[in-house]
Amino acid sequence: MEGPTPVSALIHAATMVAAGVFLVARVYPLMQAGAQPGGTTVALTVIVWVGAATAVFAALIAIAQNDIKRILAYSTISQLGYMMAGLGMGGVAVGMFHLITHAFFKSLLFMGAGSVIHGCRDEQDIRRMGGLKVDMPLTFITYAIGMLALCGFPLLFSGFWSKDGILEAAHGWSISRAPFYLLLFGVLLTAFYMTRQVCYVFFGYWRGRQTAHESPKTMTLPLVILALFAMALGAIGTPAWPWFHAFLEDRAVVFDLRAMADPRLLALMTASSIVVIFGLMLGWRFYGDRSPKPEAPDALEKIAPTLWAGLRDRLYVDELYGATVVAFYNWWARVADWLDRCIWGGMVAAVAALFGLWARFSRFFDRAWIDGGFDKGCEELSTGGGLLSRVEGGRAQNYLRILAAGVVALVAILLWSVRP
Amino acid sequence: MNGIPILTLLTVLPLAGAAVALFSGKQARGVALLSGLASLAVALFVWTQLPADGSIGLVERAAWVPSLGIEYHVGVDGLGALMLVLSAIVTLMAVDAAHRVHHMPGFFYGLILMLQSGLFGAFTALNFFHWFLFWELSLIPAFFLIKLWGGPRRGPAATQFFVYTMAGSAALLVSFLAIFFSTGSMDFGYLATLAQTGALTPMVESHLGSAMPWLAAGVLAGFAVKVPLMPFHTWLPEAYAEAPSPVTMLLTGAMSKMGLYGLLRIALPIFGVQIAAMRTPLLVLATITVVMGAWAAAAQTDLKRVFAYSSVNHLGYCMLAIFALAVPAAGAAQRASQAAALNGAILQIFNHGITAAALFWFVAMIQFRTNGLRGINDFGGLRKPAPIFAGLMGIALFSSLGLPGLNGFVGEFLIFRGVFPLAWVAASVSILGLLVTAVVLLTVIQKVFAGPTPERWAKFPDLHPSERMALTPVIVLMFLLGLAPQLIVDTINPTVMNLLAHWRF
Amino acid sequence: MLAWSIYISFAGALIVALLPTGKFALVRWFALAVAAVGLAIDVAGYAAGFAQGPRTLVDAAWIPAMGIHFLLVADGISRVLVLLTGIVAVAGVLFSWNVETRVNHFFAFYLALIGGVYGVFLSADFFLFFVFYEIAIVPKYFLIAIWGSTRREYGAMKLVLYSFVGSSMVLVGLLAAYTSSGSHSTTLVALAHAGLPASFQMWCFPLVFTGFAILAGMWPFHTWAPTGHVAAPTAASMLLAGVVMKLGAYGCLRVAIGLFPLGLAPWGFSIIGLGSWRDVFAWLAVIGIVYGALVALAQTDFKFVIGYSSVIHMGFVLLGLMTLNQIGVDGAVMQMFSHGVIAGLLFAIVGRMVYDRTHTRQLAELELMHLSRRLPFAAWAFVFAGVAAMGMPGFSGFVSELQILVGAWRVNPWWVAIAGIGIVISVAYIWRALQKAFFTDKLPTPEDHPKTGWHSLGAITWPEIAGTVLLGASTLAVGIYPRILLDQIEPAVKALLAGGAQ
């Protein structure tokens, strides 16, 4: 959404965000593996509930946004929920049909928004727009077509047929009726927030800074083309002539008006139409033809200010991620770094220090004990030698005395040995 | 072959180049480039001469010291030849990146070429003595390259790198000597055959009792330090950060691969049974390496350290694959997974070598332009003054991230394809590594290239034509291997199947 | 023919002493010529030895009444060690080219020492062996006492005392053996075949072995070595560490193990895990390896680091000897050669190249001198020698350590494990010394200038280069092609282990 509008139109409407839906459709046999006799599996059930919840969750948030493209972005998320739910309950063709109709009318809406932004000289806040149906008529008409297709306005618009296909599948889901009601509620919300947006942007009077002007043909021509598709594409997916579904399932297709006459089908189509129109009227009731000042609180905000604040702040999902995933990521990165520097690195440093200590001790041991021991021994020897050397004192008188003593002793022994 | 000892020539060629470069002064870089190109040509020629069945070819044998089991025995199979090509490419990249070495250039390029010779020798050796010779000798030029031209903390970084690696090598040596003592052979092929037929363990046990697990641990220790495997990796961030960037290119692009090559050539064939017995703790360590390596990268502010830890993470994938495939008595489906994992690991070795070297090359270029700055927060908005630089570095970053279409994806994909059936817990946890790496590398792009351009980088010079010319083949290679990996896989797969057929777990 | 190396050395010593004093060049060149001729004889004799086996060089009755012969025999081991002596002798002369005081006497003592050493290696009669052994001690004393440096009288006296204690132990043992064998003959062969009873050998062996091992620097009788080597002038250190310590190891092998092999047999009981003299000495050797490395790691004096490196390498030699198997003892002999050359080179660098120029051996002071820039030849020579000393493949030390460790695996894995730790510590101490002495990162502060002085340190001279090349080429050649030595060592060791001293 932060990207330039054509980029948004391409990736956020048609291609990138649809990749997940496409992936599920592609591996559908895996999803269906081990199906219960009713055709449901755990995988598909999970997808359904997540899709239905997403549809409502995102639609709620879209109600309270003020950036023209952000409303469309959350709308896309909501519609993706529909697609997923459709895949889960109705099969590949149901989900994919809504994917391709959505691609056209959502890119139409994004392009239209781009045209509006360009015409308002890079203003994106819908509270600073208004009355553009006069200044930008072509944009207005094509945008309205896209908006009606998105809401699922009966019969003439592709969105009706594709969304109804999903609702029909939801109605017939064996596990629970709840997703059906959720999705129906989502239809109401979709109509409501789109009406709000259109009223803010195109109705009322101009609240912006500079005057607005229609965009050049290079911008409006694609809008027209897309609008045509947004209307006509429904034809390939009506119950009377379900060409798209037959194409995907590789079977022949027959044009059969009587298929439309199925009572259940008719009842559903009527019900959804009523909901759509009710939503449109509700939206008009709150926002139609008024132009509150940009700083003034929104009409709904006056009624339920805390709820509004929560919805405007996108139900704090981003903050939740920030506080959990992102915070954990950053914290764990610091832990990893600390482990590396202090623990593993510390162990290596400890080993090195240990060897250094042991080395110093060994050196001391060598010098003081082993070496010192030998030196000590030598000293003792030389001292002892010194003592002994006194015998060889060099003083002749001592020698003579000892000699004399020795001779006396020898003679004594000799005399003793020869005594008779 | 026609009798020319190609592999010996290849190993000696860089030494000759080094001898010339040492005395060439200012022309040393030219000499090194010439030598590098010649080596690359020979290595590519070797690549084309491999036997088709994946066995070892281009064998040269000569008696050396028979009484000690030492033999001059060289040869390559697909794995070895790929390593030769990788070494040649990365060395060429490193020499080209180092175009502003003012201090003793002759010596600098001489040392790089000596290192290349060590790499060639290690990747072609088939006898332990010969292999160990090159394994150890390559440390000396690496040490001095870091010590003499590195950053402010180069002394401790280089010393830790040297001593730590030597400690691992000592364990490896001692263990291998026990094997030699028990079997009388230092020949990798013969020892692998002994291990495959189950004769090795009884031989060792008859001489040394139940020493095999210890010997395996000793051998693994040597490789664990070199690749590296956490927690024996702490020498790496310092060494990579403090080494001059061209040297870091060599360290990450080629030297770390010596460890992985050793695991594949020596550890798995000879100690397969013991590794299979230790599989779980090894997988745990590999997973930790993957995940914590990526997360530690997230906490770094120095670009070189970001890429250093990212390298640890990427090499962790290879080790994950290598340890995962050590499954005893593999069934047919498991064999397919083993083949995928091994192919992936080898591909990843090559692709990571190229990509990581390219990333450090870009860092070198940034450093040259900014007088040595390389903090992630020092820059901003560089894509405005230097769009081509931003584009090409962006491609390298996306390749490292594993974007399909670029070479980084193929190896990782095959690794996960192979490891998931064999060790799904490790594979699942390792996915975190992919996620975190993506965040880290995108953050680099955001902080360095996107956003507003500060005043002082408004004149940041874009790539010169010579730099563009040098980088183009690398970028082309990234795309080529990403889109047509069969260029490598077709030659490697026979070797992979051959290796797997001869390994016993 | 090898016997002539003995005669020429002694003759040379005599002549040198009588040469006119003051004619330094003449004396030096003459000494070099004598040493070189000796080396040439050694090489020729070595080369001839490939084809021959053990060969009796001279056999003359000396004192027939006591059965003493002037018997010189050369086998593979002797030839290798004689070759080592020749190489180190020539290198030593080259590295003493700058001796200026009493040059005649210096080279006279030097050549006499060489002659004595040659004699020991070639003797096959224990009396003759002893005579040469003692002859070698006297010049040692004077070389250190007169031309040495730090505490030279103390160091010289210490070395001599240790040597005498050792040799007296040997003498007692050999005399006892001589008398026990009937006093017929003093030749080693005769004593080996004399059939001395096991109980006799059991006390004679440790006595004689320890006596020789003291000179070989076995722990804990090793402390004379660092002190003595540090005190000695460069050439003397080279000879002492390179060759003289090998006398001890050679004696351990040839005499102790050769004559009294039964002394190594198990006692039948064990004290603290030791069951024979073999265990005792092997463990002392292993302790010496680790201990020496640790102490070297903590030294502040460069030369002391190298001095302790000798203790470590000789520890490997002794470990190899104690394996008592072919490969281990092969490794021990090769390690004798390898360490001789490497230690010679290390002392040459530290003493001649560094100390003679910087006049300090303190690592803390050398750190401030940026020697990698000012003495590049010395720095890179030390890288070469240091890497060889730590057992890097490609150099002779690796092959010898490889064999010793394999031989040790055969006997006791613990010896290998601890020796392995010793190798890692060796890497650390050498790398520390290397970086502190040559490749410092420290920039000198202004206060350091008066001490270090940035004056020129004097260029490398041709004798130093020649000596370095000689020693470096020796270790490299053996490292790359170990068969140069192994082909002679293996048969000789085989014969010795099989029985009979020669």
Cβ-Cβ contacts under 8 Å, A366 against chain C: 223, 291, 295
Asked if the model's pLDDT at residue B1 lies above 50, the reply is no
Mean pLDDT for chain C overall? 86
Tell me the average pLDDT of chain A.
Answer: 83
Q: Cβ(B133)–Cβ(B121) under 8 Å?
A: yes
Chains near C with 3+ CB pairs less than 8 A apart are: A, B
Interface contact flag, B231 A335, Cβ < 8 Å: no
Residue among A325, A337, A339 with most chain B CBs within 10 A, to mutate:
A337
Distances (CA, A) of A371 to B52, C362, C419: 68, 21, 24
Contact state of B167 with C427 under an 8 Å Cβ cutoff: yes
Nearest to B299 among A336, A343, A344 (CB): A336
Task: Find, in chain B, the residue whose alpha carbon is nearest to that of C440.
Answer: B155
A178 vs C: CB within 8 A: no
Give dist(CA B23, CA B34) in Å, integer: 15
Chain B residue with Cα closest to A334:
B299
Compute the nearest-CA separation of C284 from chain A (Å): 14
Stretch 39-68 of chain A: residues touching chain C, C-beta under 8 Å: none
pLDDT at C445 (0 to 100): 59
Q: Does A412 touch chain B (CB under 8 A)?
A: no
pLDDT score for C358: 85
pLDDT more than 90, % of chain C: 36
Residue of B160, B164, B299 with shortest CB distance to A333: B299
Separation of alpha carbons A236 and A249, rounded Å: 14
A370 CB neighbours in chain C (<8 A) are: 220, 222-223
Per-residue pLDDT of C12-69, as tens digits, reads: 888 888 888 777 888 889 899 999 999 999 998 888 888 777 878 777 777 777 777 7
Cβ–Cβ below 8 Å for B140 and C410: no
Instruction: Give all chains having 3 or more CB-to-CB distances under 8 Å with chain A.
Output: B, C
pLDDT reading at C446 higher than 70 = no
> 3-state secondary structure string, A279-311?
HHHHHHHHHCCCCCCCCCCCHHHHHCHHHHHHH
* Percent helix, percent strand, percent coil in chain B, to nearest 5: 75, 5, 20
End-to-end CA distance of chain B: 34
Mean pLDDT within C219-227? 85
Calpha distance B291→B433 (Å, rounded): 5
As a whole number of angstroms, the distance between CA A56 and CA A75 comes to 10
> How far, in Å, CA of A182 to CA of A376, rounded?
99
Find the mean pLDDT for residues A150-171.
88
A360 touches chain C (CB under 8 A): yes
CA distance B231 to chain A (A): 6
The Cα B5–Cα B8 span in angstroms is 5
Lowest-confidence region among A69-73, A131-135, B19-23, B360-364: A131-135
Q: Does A330 touch chain B (CB under 8 A)?
A: yes
Query: B-C interface: how many C-beta pairs under 8 angstroms?
Result: 83
Which of C163, C219, C295, C299 to probe the A interface (max A CBs under 10 A)? C295
Interface touch C435/B155, C-beta < 8 Å: yes
* DSSP 8-state assignment for residue A193: H
The answer to whether the Cβ–Cβ distance between B159 and C387 falls below 8 Å is no
Identify the CA nearest to C249 among candidates C296, C283, C285.
C285
Read off the pLDDT of each residue in C355-365 and give the average, rounded to a whole number.
Answer: 86
Q: Which residue of B has its CA nearest to C485?
A: B65
pLDDT of C479 > 60? The answer is: yes
**Chain-chain contact of B181 with C431 (C-beta, under 8 angstroms):** no
Answer for the pair A44, A86: CB distance below 8 angstroms, yes or no.
no
Query: Residues of C with CB below 8 A from A371's CB?
Result: 223, 227
Place of tokens 């023209």: A68
pLDDT greater at residue A156 or residue B281: B281
A359 and C294 within 8 Å at the Cβ level: the answer is yes
From A337's Cα to the closest Cα of chain B, the distance in A is: 5
Checking if the pLDDT of C161 tops 50, the result is yes
Terminal-to-terminal C-alpha distance of chain C: 18
Whether A334 has its CB under 8 Å from any CB of chain B: the answer is: yes
Q: What angle do CA C272, C275, C279 make, to 5 degrees?
A: 90
The CA–CA distances, whole Å, from C450 to C200, C360, C361, C444, C446 equal: 65, 14, 17, 11, 8
pLDDT digit string, tens, across residues C329-351: 999 999 999 999 999 999 999 98
Q: Can you say how many angstroms the Cα of residue C349 is from the centroid of all Cα atoms in its chain?
A: 17
How many A/C residue pairs have CB atoms within 8 Å? 36
For residue B148, list chain C residues with Cβ-Cβ distance below 8 A.
439
Mutate to test the interface with C, among B137, B145, B174 (most CBs of C within 10 A): B174
Q: Does residue A356 sit at the C interface (CB-CB below 8 Å)?
A: yes
Contact B155 C424 (CB under 8 A): no
Q: Residue B390 above 50 pLDDT?
A: yes
**Interface residue C406 vs chain B (CB under 8 A):** yes
Contact A143, A109 (CB under 8 A): yes
Distance from CA of A346 to the nearest CA of B (A): 9
Which chain C residue's Cα is nearest to B179? C406
> How much is the pLDDT for B428?
94
**How would residue C448 be classed by pLDDT, with cut points 50, 70 and 90?**
low
pLDDT of residue B403 exceeding 50, the answer is yes
Give me chain B's average pLDDT, please. 91
Each residue of C80-115: pLDDT tens digit? 999 999 999 999 999 988 888 888 888 999 999 999
d(CA B301, CA B298): 8
Find chains touching chain B: ≥3 CB pairs under 8 Å.
Answer: A, C
* Distance from the C182 Cα atom to the nearest Cα atom in chain B, whole angstroms: 41
For C53, list phi and psi in degrees, rounded to 5: -105, -145
Q: Does A270 touch chain B (CB under 8 A)?
A: no
Residue A340 near chain C (CB below 8 Å): no
> Do strands B57-65 and B70-76 pair parallel, antiparallel, or not at all (unpaired)?
antiparallel
Closest CA to C410 of B353, A54, B65, B207: B207
| Closest CB to B180 among C390, C406, C435 | C406
Q: Please answer yes or no on whether A339 and B292 come within 8 Å at the CB atom.
A: yes
| Residues C314 and C213 sit within 8 Å (Cβ to Cβ) | no
Query: Residue A407 above 80 pLDDT?
Result: no
pLDDT at A397 over 70: no
Does A359 lie at the interface with C, CB-CB under 8 angstroms? yes
Tell me: pLDDT of C502 over 50.
no
ipTM comes to 0.88
CB contact under 8 A, C431 and B162: yes
> Is C142 a residue whose pLDDT tops 90?
no
pLDDT of residue C501: 45
Residues of C with CB under 8 A from a CB of A: 158, 161-162, 220, 222-224, 227, 291, 294-299, 425, 428-429
For residues A106 and A150, the answer to whether their CB atoms sit within 8 Å is yes
C449 interface with B at CB cutoff 8 Å: no
In this structure, of A34-48, A312-326, A372-386, C379-393, the range with the lowest mean pLDDT score is: A372-386
| Segment B236-245 mean pLDDT | 92
C245-294 tens-digit pLDDT: 999 999 999 888 888 888 888 888 888 878 888 889 999 999 999 999 99
Q: At which residue do the structure tokens 């440093």 appear?
A: A349
Q: Is C439 on the interface with B (CB under 8 A)?
A: yes
CA distance C364 to A32: 77
